[in-house]
Structure 1
Amino acid sequence: MPSSAGPSIDTITEGGRVTQVGEGQEADESAPPVMTFGAPTAGEILAERYELVEHINNDSAGRLVWRGVDVILRRPVAVVLRYPGGDSATEMLQAAVAASRVIHPNLVGVYDAIDEADRAYVVREWVDGQSLRDLAAEGPLDPARATAIGNAVASALAAVHATGMVHGNVHPGTVMISDEGRVVLADARTDGDDSQESDIRAVGGVLYFALTGHWPHSEAPLRGATAGHGRAAISDAVRDAAGTIAAPRQVRAGVPAYLDDLTMDLLDAEIAPPSSDVLAAELARLDVPEDEHYLDTSGPLRFAADTGEEPSPLAAAGGRKVAIGIAGLLAVALVGLLIGISALGDKDEDPQNTAGATPSASAPAGDATPAAATVRNLKVQGIRIVDPDSTKRDELGGADKIIDGDNDKGWETDRYPNATYGNLKTGMGVWLDLGSPHTVKSVQAVLSGRGATAQLLAGTAGYPSSSDGDKQMVANYKTEIGVLKEHDGTTMTFNGFNADEKYRYLLLWFTELPPSGDEDGFRLGVQEITVQGS
């Protein structure tokens, strides 16, 4: 999934500090010259839709980075312009098209890509926050936060890899933490040397950087982040005389053994890494509230999940997996020795005692932790529009477009004079049937506008597609997953699911509509809904 976007930038706007990961940085001496002939000015509207508000910077690839506004959907955007367009912009535009196909809460959204011959530009989601590079510059992160960031990055990669594509540019400059705490991965690009495995190895680099403030890949420096060059500079990992990097636990105190092992295993070319979905599932297991002190009791990492094998009992001691093969053989030999001694001793003892020795010798196998479930996009088996207060029921068509994988097509309500439907109805919803009970991690809905209010509910039964059936559904779906009021974005994400419960029927219930955009009144469009779980 190629792209030519550069690392992060910072600027000051009326809303405070802004960082656009992957949207540019201070150009260094080796950056190509920026073509300014015909460059846009503030107030110019591109494609009759994107108004340029403020020139943020020029990135290390020589592109112009602007903060803008989508005047139709009334949302802030980042606009990256390249001069000229045509063949020289092919890589950038191809990257944008590829990235736009993957929708995930931990990936920066790509909205548009346009080539006007004399210039080309990509329109992306605008994110207020700072990059991991800038965040860790203030000091290494605590293990819980580092784990949460690693979980988000691995989850984003799992979504990219599920399509067969590669991100190819995972590092602290392309990992952004928004002011609300959302972690997103930006600036996908690839060359012939990139692979899904290199993406996964890079998660180890992100974890190492978050825990230590140092980057472990001296042989693969951050693109545009050369040593000693102002804000782009980043510290290399501590190394011994042979060039071997020090483990996080050797750099700072308080890093748990198995988080240290996970990080080092991902960086070790001699150890085969897990797939991105297995890694995401393991990090999700460890990603719990900090006050629960999960790192003291979580137990061994379960990379055997993708092969069906049980982990070695010795992994709980925090030993590197490079030694697990030898340790496993020793453990088997020890168990066999204990059983042999027990059998010899039983010849001279009461036969009733012979059954008592075997379970104690084989107890470690019973204590093994089950394999982690793979997090993936769940297939929605049934979908329909719920409209209990309407007698005409003329807004029910097009529900299938919500799950067709195309953000440009979706279901849309009629236009209403008031955001709350006026006196016409209490709300409308989208009902989802997953076909069978599943463990659900998140539900993401991409909407046509900002300002909607929605509630995600779960139920235990389906109901007929009729006014009476819809009324029964609304009355009986009582399990609330989450509520978003007057949401200021076009992507809603609900992740308040109980990990110990399974869900089949879900209802996304809308009680307030966003402005219709290019006309008076209020209208809701649901472009796409994605359910993740196992």
Structure 2
Amino acid sequence: MTQVGEGQDADESAPPVMTFGAPTAGEILAERYELVEHINNDSAGRLVWRGVDVVLRRPVAVVLRYPGGDSATEMLQAAVAASRVIHPNLVGVYDAIDEGERAYVVREWVDGRSLRELAADGPLDGARATTIGNAVASALAAVHATDMVHGNVHPGTVMISDDGRVVLADARTDGDDSQESDIRAVGGILYFALTGHWPHAEAPLRGATAGHGRAAIPDAVRDATGALAAPRQVRAGVPAYLDDLTMDLLDAEVAPPSSDVLAAELARLDVPADDHYLDNSGPLRFAADTGDEPSPLAAAGGRKVAIGIAGLLAVALVGLLIGISALGGDDKDPQTNPVAQPTSSAPADDASPAPAVGPIKISKAQIIDPDGDRTEVKDADKVFDGDEDEGWETQTYRRAANFGNLKKGMGVWVDLGSERSVKSVQVLLSAQGASAQLFHGTTEHPSTKSGDAQLVAEYQQKPVGRAFEEHDGTTMTFTGFDAEQKYRYLLFWITELPDSDGGYKLGVQEIKVQGS
């Protein structure tokens, strides 16, 4: 098992590793992180170690760079930014320390393999490639929701753990990166998973350029003009719609969707293989020529995003009805030609795509405090006013992080105004170390102690996603929503507070909801 740093082992183009003051097994960094085993050196010349957090007794990965100081600024800034985004498909970043002669980042240890290593055994099937693409797009959606960029999406930074979890590691961004380049990199991930080749020469995605493991990943298959071959041209069994999606993401002339829309589309496609995943029903977002089948390489360069779903449905309906008319031969009455006079909208209804995902405006909020004295129920509107620098906050508790014996917890209730399809809820906090959970309900209760108690009793029966326990960032992202269910009322429930000014205190700076 290889735990990589920036996703690539050192190759011939990697800078030399500086070993002055290099650590040894058993050394404890920052009086907390014990180094256990040197795993490898990444493509940027950094040392990657397996370690143990001796305080929390959990395995960690430690990525060291020599020297520290100004030369390590980009690495440390990227780690600090990544630590603020908590998501199941992102590797957790625990610490970033500069000691001058060296700097190091401490992050989650993942028992598993990178996508680069996994695909070395052979290309993946469509279902597994879609699952991986969905996980990466979901991780990027969480990053992009904070207006940040990952900037290092490639087969070496996509990790698949032994229990099947897919995580994206090692954000590393500079001024040349953008959210669009992140999204197009998902096309590269899909292409690599389906073919075992990386399309970096035609579309030099971040993380695949010289000095970052180019020699370690085979280039994509191309024709004599350098045009990229579609995955279906490289190997059999790739679903047509997944082939189209991949090539559209790699086509600079096709505007990519946002990361949350891409994640939603891949989530729709991410179904078990025994549910006939490999049929060609696919998304209607990407159009194909209804004429004669072009050569695969010509088709790879000619795909374009459909102007609108209505146009696609019309084309599909016309093509279907023309086929029916042709089968009917001369017996068909021209006056009842369904092409000229369609009488049913059922096909369009059946094929309608999910609405586009975007921000959902919160209509109102309340502070829920069934065990308190009602002194903390003010300023609830600050959690959705668009100002992340000002929010609602608890008072300072002196007894214990879990409110002591005073209360079981408290939280923020929000009303979306009407029932909506929800994709994610992001909560921006004032400090790290809080524990919280998200719940939903169907009833609005009065803002009184008894009303709050009734609300909590009802809502705690309906959790959304997993609970965050003493999490290491200032952003919590909840994504466990049922795509078939509508939501209106949500409760962000705090159970433990972080250290603050000699006591325990937390502020909720902003709550952001994504959905349709």
In percent, how many aligned pairs have the same letter?
Answer: 66
Question: For the Cα contact (< 8 Å) 1:278–1:374, is it kept in 2?
Answer: yes
2:250 corresponds to which residue? 267
Structure 2 SS opposite 1:359? coil
1:322 corresponds to which residue? 302
The one-letter code matched in structure 2 to 1:31 is A
Residue 250 of structure 1 pairs with residue 233 of structure 2? yes
Greater shift, 174-183 or 464-473, is seen at: 174-183
- Match among 191, 194, 217 for residue 211 of structure 1: 194
TM-score scaled by length of structure 1: 0.71
Deviations 1:167-206 (A, max 9, x none): 3322111112234433222223345654443333221111
- Match among 470, 476, 483 for residue 452 of structure 2: 470
Residue 433 of structure 1 pairs with residue 421 of structure 2? no
Residue 497 of structure 1 pairs with residue 481 of structure 2? yes
Q: Structure 1: 5+ residue runs without aligned partners?
A: 1-9, 12-18, 228-232, 304-310, 343-349
Alignment partners' CA distance in 2, 1:438 and 1:385 = 22
The one-letter code matched in structure 2 to 1:262 is L
Question: For the Cα contact (< 8 Å) 1:55–1:64, is it kept in 2?
Answer: no
2:35 corresponds to which residue? 53
Residue 458 of structure 1 pairs with residue 446 of structure 2? no
Q: CA deviation at 1:30?
A: 3.8
1:346 corresponds to which residue? none
1:95 corresponds to which residue? 78
Question: For the Cα contact (< 8 Å) 2:180–2:256, is it kept in 1?
Answer: yes
Q: CA deviation at 1:207?
A: 0.4
Q: CA deviation at 1:366?
A: 4.3
Alpha-carbon spacing, 1:260–1:486, altered in 2? closer, same or farther (3 Å): closer
- Match among 28, 32, 42 for residue 44 of structure 1: 28
Residue 34 of structure 1 pairs with residue 17 of structure 2? yes
1:291 corresponds to which residue? 274
Alpha-carbon spacing, 1:484–1:85, altered in 2? closer, same or farther (3 Å): closer
Alpha-carbon spacing, 1:399–1:185, altered in 2? closer, same or farther (3 Å): farther
2:170 corresponds to which residue? 187
Alpha-carbon spacing, 1:395–1:93, altered in 2? closer, same or farther (3 Å): same
Alpha-carbon spacing, 1:225–1:45, altered in 2? closer, same or farther (3 Å): closer
Question: For the Cα contact (< 8 Å) 2:149–2:179, is it kept in 1?
Answer: yes
Alpha-carbon spacing, 1:355–1:197, altered in 2? closer, same or farther (3 Å): same
Give the number of equivalent residue pairs. 483
The one-letter code matched in structure 1 to 2:234 is V
Q: CA deviation at 1:261?
A: 1.3
Q: Structure 2: 5+ residue runs without aligned partners?
A: 326-332
Q: CA deviation at 1:335?
A: 6.7
Alignment partners' CA distance in 2, 1:37 and 1:325 = 53
Alpha-carbon spacing, 1:141–1:39, altered in 2? closer, same or farther (3 Å): same
Residue 177 of structure 1 pairs with residue 177 of structure 2? no
Q: CA deviation at 1:478?
A: 7.0
RMSD over aligned Cα atoms: 5.0
1:117 corresponds to which residue? 100
Greater shift, 357-366 or 284-293, is seen at: 357-366
Alpha-carbon spacing, 1:136–1:415, altered in 2? closer, same or farther (3 Å): farther
Alpha-carbon spacing, 1:63–1:411, altered in 2? closer, same or farther (3 Å): farther
The one-letter code matched in structure 1 to 2:133 is G
Alpha-carbon spacing, 1:45–1:273, altered in 2? closer, same or farther (3 Å): closer
Deviations 1:93-141 (A, max 9, x none): 3333443455544333444434333333333343333211122223322
Deviations 1:269-310 (A, max 9, x none): 44443343432332222123333224436443326xxxxxxx
Question: For the Cα contact (< 8 Å) 1:44–1:52, is it kept in 2?
Answer: yes
Residue 360 of structure 1 pairs with residue 342 of structure 2? yes
Alignment partners' CA distance in 1, 2:345 and 2:400 = 68
2:328 corresponds to which residue? none
- Match among 207, 212, 223 for residue 224 of structure 1: 212
Alignment partners' CA distance in 2, 1:287 and 1:86 = 44
Q: CA deviation at 1:384?
A: 5.2
Alpha-carbon spacing, 1:439–1:36, altered in 2? closer, same or farther (3 Å): same
Alpha-carbon spacing, 1:355–1:217, altered in 2? closer, same or farther (3 Å): closer
Alpha-carbon spacing, 1:98–1:487, altered in 2? closer, same or farther (3 Å): closer
Question: For the Cα contact (< 8 Å) 2:269–2:282, is it kept in 1?
Answer: no
Question: For the Cα contact (< 8 Å) 1:281–1:373, is it kept in 2?
Answer: no
TM alignment of 1:474-489, pairs within 5 A:
474-477=456-459, 480-482=462-464, 484=466
Alignment partners' CA distance in 1, 2:369 and 2:166 = 35
Structure 1 SS opposite 2:342? helix
Alpha-carbon spacing, 1:428–1:139, altered in 2? closer, same or farther (3 Å): farther
Question: For the Cα contact (< 8 Å) 2:11–2:213, is it kept in 1?
Answer: no
Residue 144 of structure 1 pairs with residue 132 of structure 2? no
Q: CA deviation at 1:257?
A: 0.9
Question: For the Cα contact (< 8 Å) 2:242–2:282, is it kept in 1?
Answer: no
TM alignment of 1:417-432, pairs within 5 A:
429-432=411-414
Question: For the Cα contact (< 8 Å) 1:140–1:212, is it kept in 2?
Answer: yes
Alpha-carbon spacing, 1:271–1:479, altered in 2? closer, same or farther (3 Å): same
Alpha-carbon spacing, 1:320–1:103, altered in 2? closer, same or farther (3 Å): same
Structure 1 SS opposite 2:243? helix
Q: CA deviation at 1:21?
A: 5.0
Alignment partners' CA distance in 2, 1:65 and 1:398 = 46
Structure 2 SS opposite 1:89? helix
Alignment partners' CA distance in 2, 1:128 and 1:527 = 34
Question: For the Cα contact (< 8 Å) 2:419–2:488, is it kept in 1?
Answer: yes
Q: CA deviation at 1:75?
A: 5.4
The one-letter code matched in structure 2 to 1:63 is R
The one-letter code matched in structure 1 to 2:110 is V
Q: CA deviation at 1:256?
A: 1.2
Alignment partners' CA distance in 1, 2:349 and 2:102 = 62
Deviations 1:5-31 (A, max 9, x none): xxxxx44xxxxxxx3452x65433443
The one-letter code matched in structure 2 to 1:129 is G
2:490 corresponds to which residue? 506
Question: For the Cα contact (< 8 Å) 2:5–2:46, is it kept in 1?
Answer: no
Q: CA deviation at 1:55?
A: 4.4
TM-score scaled by length of structure 2: 0.73
Alignment partners' CA distance in 2, 1:494 and 1:180 = 21
Question: For the Cα contact (< 8 Å) 1:313–1:364, is it kept in 2?
Answer: no
Q: CA deviation at 1:493?
A: 6.2
Alignment partners' CA distance in 2, 1:356 and 1:379 = 43
Alignment partners' CA distance in 2, 1:45 and 1:401 = 40
The one-letter code matched in structure 2 to 1:247 is A
